[in-house]
């Protein structure tokens, strides 16, 4: 028996779940692995986060803050922080993604699902500054570093080589010029992976508590536009025509944003930054690990980038892209392309 399996069995025994059935539930793009734990009709979710690679404390911290706000983050049933093990409330299987794909889910239309998510964001953004929250800053340095991931991990796969340092610095300079646009407005709690894969419908709960929240451990303090564009410009799916505009109008009605034009500019600037970061993340998955399943979403990411750069007026970014990455290289890389060993796969934290 492996040491890790023994650790998990001991953890479950100490938590009162001795002899439970443990089955793989999901892996995410990090090093975390999730298992469903079943015993005598009761169930929970085990988060296995190897402590040398992951830290469960941010999850515990943000879950506590979200629950203090009255939102449905999973309850913590047991924890062993040094071992990187958490036992969580099991929200079931009804993610927004699964509901949208299930023709039998007639009670929840696409519009209704997005509406409850938008309402939760509007509520969070309105209340967070008043109630108070704590998270590291989503500042210019981090925003530019994230945009830089496209250069590190995606561009070499389509250009055939790494870009020179002077070309890379011009790219970073264009994004630094965009920081005032991306950071406009009062900060709020930014969950960062707020999209249909990480949102759930919880029956038996009322109001915004019906919306279950997952994968929020990387939350930061930053622009309220970020999570909204994460939801409405999903890298993995297209929304029905007109739904993005309708949900933006819904958010505006609920928040009464003072300078809507500036908010929209931040929304589109962050949409471009997020999509270009995701290009890098997808490139990393293929370039180091040979995982090509993400690459089908590359055209959608580029469509978001091209539209958002224009709408946000990011002229410097647009000029760099037109010059260094014209439409001919804005494509899905060949599946056998890998990144050279001189490039690090590590993500700067």
pLDDT of 48: 96
Report CA dihedral (171, 272, 263, 182) to the nearest 10 degrees: -30
pLDDT of 256: 86
In whole angstroms, what separates CA 49 from the centre of its chain? 18
pLDDT of 349: 59
Task: Report the predicted TM-score, pTM, of the whole model to 2 decimal places.
Answer: 0.95
pLDDT of 29: 65
Q: Which residues pair with 42 in a beta bridge?
A: 39
pLDDT of 1: 53
User: How far is it, in rounded angstroms, from Cα 62 to Cα 272?
Assistant: 26
pLDDT of 212: 98
- In a structure prediction context, what are the per-residue pLDDT tens digits for the chain, which is 349 residues long? 579 999 999 999 999 999 999 999 977 667 899 999 999 999 999 999 999 999 999 999 999 999 999 999 999 999 999 999 999 999 999 999 999 999 888 889 999 999 999 999 999 999 998 899 999 999 999 999 999 999 999 999 999 999 999 999 999 999 999 999 999 889 999 999 999 999 999 999 999 999 999 999 999 999 999 999 999 999 999 999 999 999 999 999 999 898 999 999 999 999 999 999 999 999 999 999 999 999 999 999 999 999 999 999 999 999 999 999 999 999 999 999 999 999 999 887 5
């Amino acid at each position: 028996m492996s040491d890790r399996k023994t650790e998990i069995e001991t953890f479950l025994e100490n938590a009162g779940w001795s002899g439970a059935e443990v089955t793989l539930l999901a892996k995410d793009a990090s090093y975390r692995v999730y298992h469903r734990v079943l015993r005598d009709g009761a169930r929970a979710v085990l988060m296995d986060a190897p402590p040398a690679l992951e830290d469960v404390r941010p999850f515990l911290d943000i879950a506590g803050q979200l629950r203090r706000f009255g939102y449905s983050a999973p309850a913590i049933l047991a924890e062993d922080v040094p071992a990187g093990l958490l036992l969580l409330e099991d929200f079931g299987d009804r993610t927004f993604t699964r509901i949208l794909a299930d023709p039998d889910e007639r009670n929840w239309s696409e519009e209704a699902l997005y509406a409850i998510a938008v309402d939760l964001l509007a509520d969070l953004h309105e209340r967070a500054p008043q109630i108070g929250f704590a998270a590291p800053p989503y500042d210019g340095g981090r925003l530019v570093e994230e945009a830089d991931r496209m250069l590190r991990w995606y561009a070499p796969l389509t250009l055939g080589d790494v870009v020179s340092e002077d070309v890379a610095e011009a790219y970073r300079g264009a994004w630094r010029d965009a920081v005032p646009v991306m950071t406009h407005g009062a900060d709020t709690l930014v969950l960062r992976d707020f999209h249909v894969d990480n949102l759930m419908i919880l029956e038996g709960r009322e109001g915004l508590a019906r919306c279950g929240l997952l994968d929020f451990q990387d939350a930061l303090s930053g622009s309220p536009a970020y999570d909204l564009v994460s939801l409405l410009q999903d890298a993995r799916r297209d929304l029905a025509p007109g739904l993005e505009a309708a949900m933006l109008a819904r958010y505006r009605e609920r928040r009464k944003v003072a300078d809507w034009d500036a908010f929209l500019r931040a929304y589109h600037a962050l949409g471009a930054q997020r999509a270009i970061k995701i290009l890098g993340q997808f490139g990393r998955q293929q370039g180091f690990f040979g995982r090509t399943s993400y690459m089908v979403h590359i055209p959608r990411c580029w469509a978001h980038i091209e539209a958002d750069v224009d709408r946000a007026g990011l002229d410097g970014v647009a000029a760099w892209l037109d010059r260094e990455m014209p439409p001919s290289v804005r494509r899905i890389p060949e599946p056998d392309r890998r990144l050279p060993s001189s490039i690090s796969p590590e993500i700067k934290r």
